[in-house]
Chains A and B, each alone.
Chain A
Amino acid sequence: MNAQTTVWVCMALGIVIVAIDFWTVTRTKKAALKKLKQGMKRP
């Protein structure tokens, strides 16, 4: 892998990781909404 490809791969990886973390946040939101709609009572 040449130097420029390495740099582009690293930058792309940064964007992908932030995007994956954002996706996990949306999953947390979906799970939260589902729980709230179900009206589950706290033990």
Chain B
Amino acid sequence: MTLFQHILRLSSPPVFFRVSGQLLRIVIPVAFVLGIAGLYAALFYAPTDAQQGEVYRVIYIHVPAAWMSMLIYVVASVYATMHCVFRTSVSAVMLRALMPTGAWMAVLALVTGSLWGKPTWGTYWIWDARLTSELLLLFIYLGLMAVASLVEDESKTDRLLSWFTLIGLANIPLIYFSVIFWNTLHQGASLSVSGPSRMAMEMKWTLIICTFALWAACIALVLARGRWMLLVRERNAAWAGKVIA
């Protein structure tokens, strides 16, 4: 079976409901274990930074949250594209299920960033390109959640939501490349896939564990929300009747 056929199979509501239930049984324990390991490593295992001291440890929650806020939006855009093309209920539901978690991740990135900014930059907030574009991402999430809740006609809302999500996607490269395009206070990337890392190995692995922990937590939250929303939407279908019974 090709990858495309797998994706198409997952677009079937009963298959998605069953597979997401099986996935949740794996992802929830993984999120717990990695979360505890990540917290321990961030607070006790990772060495103190030579320049910033103890406060640098905020990156272990700030950076994964910022990455997740962007990644969730990209995934939402993939579902939005799928919805524009195939009009499946799974893509519409997942698009709606991703929004609250993405918004929370943007809030977490902004608040932890400003708590780190006070001792490091001397201010909680500055209208820097990276910070402003991340704040814009939060507003986009809130706007999309408002669109999802305001309009009565479900299929019309899904279409609107998909198009608005795709328009908002323009902000993601703006966030990511803002530190390159403009002369910002926010530092550039600490981790690089292609080039040599500027971080100590212990710091790098702690950051990777924290990122996977938050990743697993977000997958669990979105899948759990999505499958319940899907069941409500498909409540008159035969498969949903069997699940409810």
Q: Which residues of A contact B (CB under 8 A)?
A: 1, 3-4, 6-11, 13-14, 17-18, 20-22, 24-25, 28-29, 31-32, 35-36, 40-42
B-side interface size class = 35 or more
B112 touches A14 (CB 8 A): yes
Chain B contact residues: over half helix, strand or loop, or mixed?
helix
| Contact with A20, one of B62, B104, B231 (Cβ below 8 angstroms) | B104
Interface SS of chain A? helix
CB interface residues, B 189-245, toward A, < 8 Å:
214, 217, 221, 224-225, 228-229, 231-232, 235-236, 240, 244
Known A6-B115, A6-B119, A11-B43: A35·B58 in contact at CB below 8 Å: no
C-alpha gap A22/B20 in the complex (Å): 16
Most chain A CB atoms below 10 A, which of B61, B62, B107, B214: B61
Cβ–Cβ < 8 Å partners of B53 in chain A: 3
Q: Kindly list chain B residues whose C-beta atoms are within 8 Å of the C-beta of A42.
A: 235-236
| Contact across chains for B57 and A25 when beta carbons are under 8 A apart | no
Residues of B within 8 A of A (CB): 39, 42-43, 53-55, 57-58, 60-62, 65, 100-101, 104, 107-108, 111-112, 115-116, 118-119, 214, 217, 221, 224-225, 228-229, 231-232, 235-236, 240, 244
Choice from B61, B119, B236 contacting A13 with Cβ under 8 Å: B61
B54 and A4: CB pair below 8 A? Answer: yes
| CB <8 Å contact, A36 and B61 | no
Q: Which residues of B contact A28 (CB under 8 A)?
A: 225, 228-229
CB contact under 8 A between A3 and B119, given known A18-B221, A29-B228, A36-B235: yes
B225 near A13: Cβ-Cβ < 8 Å: no
Taking a contact as CB atoms under 8 Å apart, the answer to whether A22 and B115 are in contact is no
> Among B104, B221, B244, which residue has its beta carbon within 8 angstroms of that of A36?
B244
Contact of B224 among A25, A31, A41 (CB under 8 A): A25
Would you list 26 pairs from A and B whose C-beta atoms are within 8 A, ordered by A residue? A1-B115, A1-B118, A1-B119, A3-B119, A7-B54, A7-B58, A9-B115, A11-B43, A11-B61, A13-B112, A18-B104, A18-B221, A21-B104, A24-B100, A25-B224, A28-B229, A31-B232, A32-B228, A32-B232, A35-B232, A35-B235, A36-B231, A36-B232, A36-B240, A36-B244, A41-B236
